[in-house]
Structure 1
């Protein structure tokens, strides 16, 4: 049997007007190389699926539509896709193409998990949740000519049982960054987040030995790789973090990941990051408006007054903080744009990911806005976090669009980027002293 694993295109899948507007904004920004690294990354779950089912297939092909075209020909017995909401519109198009070729279509990931009924209109089988157990169940049923429409995971997956992803399927020269997932679960429950609805609040991780094995495989395939640990909150378990950072020290690679602002409280962890190869951390600040943040996540609201001090402390160890912010939340008026600009520049954040409120299916935010009839579009290709798809509470749609553009232009102006570069030169000078 032949299996094709496909990651559908998710960038520039909005309307023509949205795509043109996005292109015009980003082509004028300065110093966004790190943002490109974050966005140009392979689909880690598909590589894990390849490892799970490799004994059942004579041929497994990995296709990433962000770096290559879909083959015009190909007779695959099964075509499997994993996708987030912004990829869903394209995934549905691809499903129709491969169904016409006679392939059996299956899918999993954030969007199928949270919208299984919609997804079943295009796919023969949908996986809900983690797939380590259900994929084997499906393959056995498929070989008996009796596959189910839905396979739902009901187990807490032990990360030590997750097989090593088939990194060798990647066209390594096409990627800036290589993904590795070492843990699942996040203790926070932000209203807009769909990930915690899939992986849950319990933090689970692979052993240090298992993680190091995966890193060594990546290093054997790509010289001096930049690794993106795709975990929701990688450093939340401090004892595990210390053990892992010690193992990665002097490993000959650089890496980035997601964590939360409480990392600033743990000097021992901070002191090991740089030597382990960490150069960037993505931290979800979400909002600097107290009223907005209180509605998103109470834990983050309680940390708001110490945001600036925590950023300065983390970055003093030579690790840049990428802050994520949502502008246009229900308690935001038009002053939020300048406030985010000032906060980012005053605190010398290494970078900032600015987004607009986006109601991903499965999140509490989606349920609330659906009930309030404020969702303007369900064309999933527009759900990129920078296209306005809802009716804002305290501004017009156009004001949110213009404010989003203004925020990015100010944060990534030549002057702002130069100021940040000078700040980090001083940080590294002080570290050498």
Structure 2
């Protein structure tokens, strides 16, 4: 019997791409589960991506939980609809079960969550300390409001919030990620998280809602201990650092590179990280290559220096170009993300982004739609122009790419300078045009690829199976039909495509 259950809701917005997108380990609930386990609580993790959530499965899950049964659900805006449905099923099975929502969406939209009727508590911000105290009080049989921080609940029909705490979690008090709680046959466990937060404040990033601009990192000794476990116990040959800002402290990176080599890890595994163009140089790259870091991902976002200022990226396009070119010279595989649909963006801005991706030799690229998630500066900037479907079901940064032939939902935001069809079409066509290059296409289908930008995965064994070939054919057909539709119905989509073909 478990003391509590932690659930990670499903992302329902991937469409036919779902079969080929690498399954993400639910890291948030994992970190919390490991922390609670260290405090003496037994925790069961439920990943909705693996388990169909219905009345029967919820009955089975709740039967494994000690009374009072506590169920924590970690939600972002993109999957809050799934979270609401899960909460409703839980309450239909056991009205006495205590449902707690945490994560980004409850932090920025707490009233909305508590008005739902199926959620008993919400936890705002980083949850380790506050959720722990709440669990202790619930298990103890009484709620002492004065001892709770960053908690919301409904009392006598009114929404109540406890005092606010700005204390940030000491990441060195959080134990190593509980890899043992995940079945390696379902997940790629080749990842590590060695820092938390980011000192920058890009208008589209909702992560700062949780971590603020506080950048903290785990001690180098702890990182080496975890890498030892991943490499020597779990035999992981490719390890991705999931840090938002791995190169935020160059001295620490140099130290880690030296320690990795002393341990001989560089002979057994390769490593990939996410970085910024203004935060990495030749000296640092040289040290990283010596330690067998072989993949760098850059959030390039745009090819427009003006848009860089609009999105408050605090770096320049040229800094990204210089860093990527240098990384290629140093032997790194390079990956980049681009975002279309920022305020004031033009057709030429979007085409320049595609041209840049091709010109500087990026190995893997992804083009997404700008999404004004609540809690971001972009949300406040364009609030009056947002199209919001019930339960935020249309809020997905990949929605322009993954929607089906019969589009169900509108994009949440479209800049004044273009139509929704043009924006959605140029995003899909940018991804298509980039991978029409045979060299780029081979890298997309490479099952051995590593790095943060990996977004398409199928093993060599599965690649030749009948089921995979059918799914790939259906996916290709969907993309082709959608592309033809945009080309036939939008003049600017035709301009974008034929200019891209001529490059």
**Class of the TM-score when normalised by the shorter of the 2 chains:** 0.7 to 0.9
Contact 1:79/1:106 (<8 A) preserved? yes
Are 2:324 and 1:311 aligned?
Answer: yes
Are 2:57 and 1:74 aligned?
Answer: no
Quote the Cα distance in structure 2 between the aligned partners of 1:84 and 1:255. Answer: 28
From 95, 115, 127, the counterpart of 2:87: 95
From 109, 116, 137, the counterpart of 1:115: 109
From 344, 355, 360, the counterpart of 1:342: 355
Match of 2:228 in 1: 216
CA RMSD of aligned residues (A): 2.5
Contact 1:130/1:199 (<8 A) preserved? yes
Which structure's CA Rg is the greater one? Answer: 2
Match of 1:253 in 2: 269
TM value normalised by structure 2: 0.73
Partner SS for 2:393: helix
Aligned residues: 399
Quote the Cα distance in structure 1 between the aligned partners of 2:38 and 2:305. Answer: 53
Check 1:355–1:140 CA distance in 2 against 1; reply closer, same or farther (3 A cut).
Answer: same
Partner SS for 1:256: strand
Match of 1:399 in 2: 422
Quote the Cα distance in structure 2 between the aligned partners of 1:220 and 1:63. Answer: 27
How far did residue 401 of structure 1 move?
A: 1.0
Q: How does 1:335-374 map to 2 (within 5 A)?
A: 335-370=348-383, 372-374=384-386
How far did residue 289 of structure 1 move?
A: 1.7
Quote the Cα distance in structure 2 between the aligned partners of 1:332 and 1:312. Answer: 26
Match of 1:124 in 2: 120
Check 1:87–1:178 CA distance in 2 against 1; reply closer, same or farther (3 A cut).
Answer: farther
Contact 1:128/1:153 (<8 A) preserved? no
Q: How does 1:136-155 map to 2 (within 5 A)?
A: 136-147=132-143, 149-150=151-152, 153-155=165-167
Are 2:206 and 1:183 aligned?
Answer: no
Unpaired stretches in structure 1, ≥5 consecutive residues: 28-32, 422-433
Per-residue Cα deviation, 1:282-313 (whole angstroms, up to 9, x for no partner): 2212211222221111522xx22343222110
Quote the Cα distance in structure 2 between the aligned partners of 1:201 and 1:415. Answer: 41
Check 1:335–1:379 CA distance in 2 against 1; reply closer, same or farther (3 A cut).
Answer: farther
Match of 1:429 in 2: none
Match of 1:9 in 2: 10
Contact 1:80/1:107 (<8 A) preserved? yes
From 27, 31, 35, the counterpart of 1:52: 35
Partner SS for 1:188: coil
Per-residue Cα deviation, 1:30-71 (whole angstroms, up to 9, x for no partner): xxx8xx44xx22122212211222267674221222234343
Contact 1:328/1:356 (<8 A) preserved? yes
How far did residue 221 of structure 1 move?
A: 5.3
Check 1:105–1:276 CA distance in 2 against 1; reply closer, same or farther (3 A cut).
Answer: farther
TM value normalised by structure 1: 0.84
Check 1:145–1:418 CA distance in 2 against 1; reply closer, same or farther (3 A cut).
Answer: closer
Quote the Cα distance in structure 1 between the aligned partners of 2:191 and 2:244. Answer: 13
Unpaired stretches in structure 2, ≥5 consecutive residues: 146-150, 153-161, 400-410, 445-503
Check 1:159–1:376 CA distance in 2 against 1; reply closer, same or farther (3 A cut).
Answer: closer
Check 1:325–1:206 CA distance in 2 against 1; reply closer, same or farther (3 A cut).
Answer: same
How far did residue 222 of structure 1 move?
A: 2.7
Check 1:389–1:155 CA distance in 2 against 1; reply closer, same or farther (3 A cut).
Answer: same
How far did residue 267 of structure 1 move?
A: 2.4
How far did residue 81 of structure 1 move?
A: 1.9
Are 2:63 and 1:86 aligned?
Answer: no
From 270, 273, 282, the counterpart of 1:267: 282
Check 1:80–1:257 CA distance in 2 against 1; reply closer, same or farther (3 A cut).
Answer: farther
Quote the Cα distance in structure 2 between the aligned partners of 1:205 and 1:63. Answer: 28
Match of 2:47 in 1: 64
Contact 1:4/1:60 (<8 A) preserved? yes
Are 2:174 and 1:162 aligned?
Answer: yes
Contact 1:377/1:390 (<8 A) preserved? no
Quote the Cα distance in structure 1 between the aligned partners of 2:352 and 2:37. Answer: 51
Match of 1:295 in 2: 310
